[in-house]
Amino acid sequence: MTRTSSSNTTRWRTRSRCAAKAPLWTAKRSSPCTGCIFKGSQGKEVSSGGAPNTARLFPATTRTQMTTQPSDQLERPHGAENITWNLDDLYSSVEEADRDLEKAAQQATEFASTYRGRVAELDAGALTQAIGRFEALQDLLGRVDAFAYLRWSADTGKPEHGAFLQKVREASSRLIQSLLFFELEWMLLPEEHANTLLTAPDVSRYRHYLEVQLLFRQHVLTEPEEKILAEKSVNGIGAWTRYFDQMLAALKFNFRGQPLSEQEVLSKLQESDRSVRRDAALALSKGLGTRLPDLTFVFNTVLAEKASDDRLRRYPHWLSARNLSNQVSDETVEALVKAVSGRFDLSARYYRLKGKLLQIEPLEDFDRYAPVKTGTEETGWFFTWEEAREVVLSAYQSFHPVFGETARRFFDSEWIDAAIRDGKRGGAFSHGVVPSAHPFILMNYTGKLRDVQTLAHEMGHGIHQYLSRKQGALQASTPLTMAETASVFGEMLTFRSLIERAQKPAVRLSMLMSKIDDTMATVFRQIAMNGFEDSIHKARRAEGELSSDRFGELWIQNQEAMFQGSVKLNTHYATWWSYIPHFVHTPGYVYAYAFGELLVLSLYQVYTEQGDAFVEKYVRLLEAGGSDWPERLLAETGVDVKD
């Protein structure tokens, strides 16, 4: 991936956090609607919290003096305990959402009555009008689905939340079945006729959406077959992914006699006290062990369903469907994986260096995210919620006023849920909801430096989702390969702001090591996780149902390939594959993090060279959402993704 001359410009397109996405029949395998589950689920041990696997969803300040506290004081109040979102912008009650669900059902019936069997007869103007109605219906249905999912995510323990979510999912499945004909009829048009329509000026607004559908024409089934698959997905794979989420949200980990949530125990892997890290790792492993048979069964079920789906749709490789949705070739992804895995020696060198700085040789698995301290300096920064807010707002405001203003709306308008509480799902995500509404951010704030970076990351997603709303429900979002662009770029901006505030060399060293930890996790670890995912999909198809030990064996094998002896992996670590949601929600997701990180490094390099000249190009990139092919949009910024 290289930078190009600014004169080499064209335009681009993207995936489905919300739109410009794969067809309706692929919705059950679509990527998380937000495109983010933050890095721990990217691969760092942060949390299993994932984004929903829903049908058709969108996608000069003052400086604060950071407070430092020893690690044993990090549980003190931070001010995020009461930071919760207000979903009234979507619906003020379940009854109101129910009415829109009924409205969507009526609109779907009318749409099918008008257009079923007639798509081939539509001229460009009539086709555009039909797509407009189809898009409005997607927006309405997506709003209800988002409300149900966000309400459930905030408290998975309430039966009424789960019941309403399931009701919406089942209703959505029925509506999707009634609408399948529309995209199927378009995909089955003779190629010459389809190309004629694509060149018509009237179709220009939706051209890329239509182009993306044609990518899948070799993999669609008949409408009755597609209806059967859509029907079974809600109470099949959809039910298993929900069970996975609820199981982990309810799980408690016994840390030194205290029952902690997954998020809380994972955060202790970042403590400076090695005994705390060790005990946290053991607590995590023991807790996962209590549900390992169930988690193993869920994984086997997901793997078997994916194999069945690939076989029915004639995909040559378990990753082919994901690559097509990401708008990249199998060969391009293979080249990425080979390029990164071919330099695992860099990862090993880094962890050996970190071991020397920590005076722990070799590092053990629970040492990887330990903060690096030099001399007597305490670098375990503690941030109140207000301090974190100021840091993130300052970073985005300094880049562009639109970014700062948009970020401020999230804080001021109650679009963020940051409090940790029983029943709330772990991790972090930004849910794009639908273009007619606005995004919402969920995270679990504990006051650590990484939480500030998490907030910056999710805010990047939120800004991207907010700016791309103008593209509408069918083209607002990006493929996975582009989904992390704004989030990781936002992290870079925030990191720069933070390190500029750090005056002492020891603090700067600690921050740089933490940032490199992030990069190692986002690039090298993700490719190692892709290797694990590749192994389990192939093994499930060749060997049948896999045991927990077999999963653990393949996990350790792929992790050791990355560390090359620089990190000792203990036996307890063999179960840590079991809480990562991407493997369940979105098979094939993880390589996109490596792609996205490398892409952002290229974009950030252009920014450092061009300064303000780059900023407006970047704003246009985010506003474009999924309205063109990725390489075209990126070319306008000076980046060539094919090189």
Q: Which residues pair with 67 in a beta bridge?
A: 382
Q: What pLDDT score does 40 carry? A: 38
Arithmetic mean of pLDDT, 92-100: 98
Q: CB-based contacts of 314: which residues, under 8 Å, 6+ apart?
A: 218, 219
Q: Among residues of the chain, what percentage have pLDDT more than 90?
A: 74
Residue 514 has pLDDT above 80, yes or no: yes
- Give yes or no for a contact between 48 and 41, defined as CB atoms under 8 angstroms apart: yes
Integer Rg of the chain from CA: 23
Q: What residue type is 252 in one-letter code?
A: K
Q: 503: Cβ–Cβ under 8 A, 6 or more apart, which residues?
A: none
Report the pLDDT value the prediction gives residue 67, as an integer from 0 to 100. Answer: 33
Alpha carbon distance 350, 354 (integer Å): 6
Hey, CA dihedral for 407, 411, 414, 419, is it positive or negative?
A: positive
What is the pLDDT at residue 597? 93
* C-alpha distances out from residue 578 to 41, 263, 346, 555, Å: 11, 15, 27, 10
The rounded Cα 640 to chain-centroid distance in angstroms is 23
Q: Residue 502 burial by CB count (10 A; 0-12/13-18/19+): exposed, middle or buried?
A: middle
Give pLDDT, residue 44: 43
The mean pLDDT value for 147-152 works out to 98
The mean pLDDT of 182-201, rounded to a whole number, is: 96
Range 193-213 average pLDDT: 96
Instruction: Say if residue 47's pLDDT is above 50.
Output: no
Quote the CA–CA distance of 300 and 547 in Å, as a whole number: 9
Question: Which element (helix H / strand E) includes 2?
Answer: strand 2-3
What distance in Å separates the CA atoms of residue 448 and residue 384, rounded to the nearest whole number?
9
Q: Across the chain, what does the average pLDDT equal?
A: 87
Report the half-sphere exposure of 198 (CA within 13 A, side-chain side).
17
Is 570:300 a contact under the CB 8 Å cutoff? no
Which residues is 550 bridged to in the sheet?
A: none
Q: How is domain 1-250+316-643 classified at the CATH fold level? A: Neurolysin; domain 3 (1.10.1370)
pLDDT in tens, 59-82: 322 223 333 333 343 467 899 999
DSSP-based three-state secondary structure for 417? strand
Q: If you average pLDDT over residues 274-297, what whole number do you get?
A: 98
Dump pLDDT digits (tens) for 398-453.
999 999 999 999 999 999 999 999 999 888 999 999 999 999 999 999 998 889 99
Rounded Cα distance between 49 and 426, Å, is 4
Task: Record the tokens describing residue 271, joined without a space.
Answer: 């403590």
Phi and psi torsions of 317, nearest 5°: -145, 150
Task: Tell me what the mean pLDDT of segment 508-515 comes to.
Answer: 89
- Judge contact between 346 and 524, C-beta under 8 A: yes
- Each residue's pLDDT tens digit, 559-599: 999 999 999 999 999 999 999 999 999 999 999 999 999 99
Helix axis angle, 485-501 relative to 505-519, nearest 10°? 170
Residue 369 CA to residue 255 CA, distance in Å, equals 18
- pLDDT-based confidence at 9, cuts 50/70/90? very low
Sequence-ordered alpha helix ranges (H) in 413-474: 449-467
Could you state, in order of their start, the residue ranges of all structural domains in the chain?
1-250+316-643
CB count in 10 Å sphere of residue 388: 26
* Residue 73: partners with Cβ closer than 8 Å, 6 or more residues away: 382
Single-letter code of the amino acid located at 432: G
Whose CA is closest to 286, among 621, 578, 588? Answer: 578
Tell me how crowded residue 48 is: count the other CB atoms within 10 A of its CB.
28
Q: Are 300 and 546 within 8 A, CB to CB?
A: yes
Name the percent of the chain lying above pLDDT 70.
Answer: 87
* pLDDT per residue as tens digits for the range 344-374: 999 999 999 999 999 999 999 999 999 987 5
- Rounded CA separation 349/58 (Å): 41
Worst-scoring range by mean pLDDT, 82-91, 225-234, 357-366?
A: 225-234
Is the Cβ–Cβ distance between 135 and 435 less than 8 Å?
no
Q: What tokens appear for 320 in the block?
A: 């082919």
Pair 634, 641: CB distance under 8 Å: yes
Closest among 330, 249, 325 to 291, alpha carbons compared: 249
pLDDT of 18: 32
Residue 28 has pLDDT above 50, yes or no: no
Q: Rounded CA gap, 580 and 584, in Å?
A: 8
Q: What pLDDT is attached to residue 380? A: 56
Tens digit of each residue's pLDDT (9 = 90 or more) over 252-270: 999 999 999 998 999 999 9
Residue from 310, 301, 304, 300 nearest 330 by CA: 310
Q: What is the DSSP string of 183-219?
A: HHHHHTS-HHHHHHHHTSGGGGGGHHHHHHHHTTGGG
CA distances from 71 to 75, 81, 381, 388, 501 (A): 9, 19, 9, 18, 21
Rounded distance, CA 559 to CA 521, Å? Answer: 11
**554-45-444 Cα angle (round to 5):** 145
β-strand partners of 431: 440
**CA angle 416–577–322, rounded 5-degree value:** 75
Q: What whole-number distance in Å separates Cα of residue 41 and Cα of residue 60?
A: 34
C-alpha to C-alpha distance for 287 and 312, rounded to whole angstroms: 37
Note if the pTM is more than 0.85: no
Q: Do residues 477 and 18 touch, judged by C-beta distance below 8 A?
A: yes
